[in-house]
């Protein structure tokens, strides 16, 4: 199990990342398996541009990482969860 221990200075960044329904749904999807942005957008019935923007916020918080892989029409951005658990230290 990979834990993200959130320190005081990072609490707002992580809380912003998990504070959105869309981003929370993305995390739930990625908990099952890694997936490309196009497929996530399709599942959530949202645009790829919006999902890509949401992924960037999750990446900045350290919750998701992305790689680029060959796709049918160029490259595709594949995302995966980097943590199983978030622990916030309030001290």
At 79 the pLDDT is: 97
Q: What angle do CA 53, 32, 78 make, to 5 degrees?
A: 40
Residues 23-40: pLDDT tens digits?
999 999 999 999 999 999
> Which of 73, 14, 64 has its CA nearest to residue 38?
73
Helix then strand then coil, % of the chain, to nearest 5: 50, 30, 25
What pTM value is reported for the model? 0.89
Q: Please report the domains of the chain, with CATH numbers, ordered by start residue.
A: 3-88 (1.10.10.10)
Residues 60-91: pLDDT tens digits?
999 999 999 887 778 889 999 999 999 987 77
Radius of gyration for the chain, computed over Cα atoms and rounded to the nearest angstrom: 13
């Amino acid at each position: 199990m990979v834990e993200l221990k959130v320190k005081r200075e990072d609490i707002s960044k992580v809380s912003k990342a998990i504070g959105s329904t869309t981003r929370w749904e993305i995390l739930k999807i990625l908990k099952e398996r890694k997936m490309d942005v196009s497929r996530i957008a399709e599942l959530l019935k949202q645009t790829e541009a919006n999902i890509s923007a949401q992924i960037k916020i999750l990446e900045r918080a350290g919750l998701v990482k992305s790689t680029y892989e060959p796709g049918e029409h160029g490259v595709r951005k594949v995302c995966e969860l980097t943590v199983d658990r978030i622990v916030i230290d309030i001290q």
